[in-house]
Structure 1
């Protein structure tokens, strides 16, 4: 069974402690991330993970969504722009 297959009711094996996430981003954004990571002596992958596990990530993300909704209006969410 691969790690993306959900366990069956009779499958009592423990789930892995980590999963793989593949992400495709545009080159310009990758270069920006790479620059931020390089300033800290980190790989892009380590920089992104470190950013995601920050204690304030959820609050910062929510604030970004709210600013985006104010800028574009609430229709941005219904148009598929934001999840």
Structure 2
């Protein structure tokens, strides 16, 4: 399955950008790659939690 890309433009303050640059540099990544990776990880965590919640509801554990 082909997945296209889109552009997302953000306006962030200088201090946040500097922190993002530091975090990205520690991992040898660009700021863009670091932000995208962080968003993907957060999205996965959210979807995983929803799946666990649904499983617990199904089995009556909640």
Whether TM exceeds 0.5 here: the answer is yes
Structure with bigger helix share is 2
Q: TM-score range by the shorter chain?
A: 0.5 to 0.7
Unaligned runs of 5+ in 2: 48-62
Among 14, 21, 35, the residue aligned to 1:27: 14
Q: Does 1:38 align with 2:25?
A: yes
Unaligned runs of 5+ in 1: 1-15, 60-83
TM-score scaled to structure 2, two decimals? 0.63
CA RMSD of aligned residues (A): 1.7
Q: Radius of gyration: which is bigger?
A: 1
Higher relative contact order structure (alpha carbons within 8 Å, sequence separation ≥ 6): 2
Q: How far, CA to CA, are the matches of 2:24 and 2:17 in structure 1? A: 10
Moved over 4 A (4+): none
TM-score scaled to structure 1, two decimals? 0.48
Aligned residues: 43
